[in-house]
Each structure stands twice: as C-alpha cells, then as structure tokens.
Amino acid sequence: MQKSNLSIFEAKTGDELLAVFDVMKQLRTHLKRSEFVAQVRRQEAAGYRIAALRRGEEVVAVTGFRLTENLAMGSYVYIDDLVTLDTGRSEGYGALLMEWVGQWAREQGCSELHLDSGVQRFDAHRFYFRERMAIVFYHFRKYL
C-alpha cells in the first residue's frame, strides 16, 4: 500500500459529511443522502464523530465513533460504523482507520475500543480478529 497519497480527516462540515456518504451507504444501506447530514448532527449531540480516509481525493473508508462511559467499563470509544469502499477492500484502509481511532481514544484517556458486528459479517469478524479484538459480549435486541 502506498501511504503517501493517503490522509485521514474528520468530517465536520456539511460538504465533508456528504463526501463520505457514498462509502457509509455501503454499510448503512437504508440511509438517504437528503437526510444524512441532519442525522449525523443529531448523533453529534451524543458525541458521535466521523473520520474518513482519502486516497488522493477519493474517500475510500469511513468510521463513525463516539466517546462513551458506563458503570461496567468506565470511559471507552465505541465504533458505530466502519466501512471500506467495495473496490478498496484488503488494502489496509480499515486497519489505518482503526489505528487512528485507537490513537484518538488514547488521547481521550481511554484504554479500550468496542464495537458490535452483525453475526453474518464473517469477513468483518476476520478483520477484527486480525486487529487483535476479542469477542467479550453478546448483544441482544428485542423489538417493541
């Protein structure tokens, strides 16, 4: 992988958020471009942030994450979204974003990253294991 033309940025402006939309939509297929910025703005109120990796001018990977805290684990960073452009898989882009989020988490005083992954996402699971993540919880859901 040639790193000289790669850069990571936080998507903060409306234009930057729209620039990451097409990649994010590959993971969150229900999203609508017309509603995306407003949705992110609502989530930002709870600390949600988006970082993206560019190859040249093209956004090739995106992560959404937040600093959170609970009684069980104290402060940690939760990764809500991590996706690489279909045509950029296995190029190390996801690992670079994970490394970047990990550094950001350490700067916030955190010692752990957490995420959930759908049980059907076998390729993602292999990636997380390569990133030295462990399965430590079950996540349950009940429709109301």
Domain membership flag for residue 43: yes
Domain membership flag for residue 137: no
Domain membership flag for residue 143: no
Domain membership flag for residue 107: yes
Q: What is the pLDDT of residue 2?
A: 54
Contact of 94 with 61, CB cutoff 8 Å = yes
Domain membership flag for residue 1: no
CATH code of the domain containing 48: 3.40.630.30
Domain total in the chain: 1
Domain membership flag for residue 50: yes
Signed CA dihedral, 1, 16, 75, 72: sign only? negative
Average pLDDT, the chain: 95
Q: What is the pLDDT of residue 59?
A: 97
The whole-angstrom separation of Cα 111 and Cα 102 is 9
Contact of 49 with 65, CB cutoff 8 Å = yes
pLDDT in tens, 57-95: 999 999 999 999 999 999 999 999 999 998 888 899 999
15: domain range? 6-130
Q: For residue 40, give the amino acid letter.
A: V
Angle of helix 122-130 relative to helix 93-107, nearest 10 degrees?
Answer: 60
Other Cβ atoms less than 10 A from the Cβ of 30: the count is: 5
Q: What is the pLDDT of residue 90?
A: 87
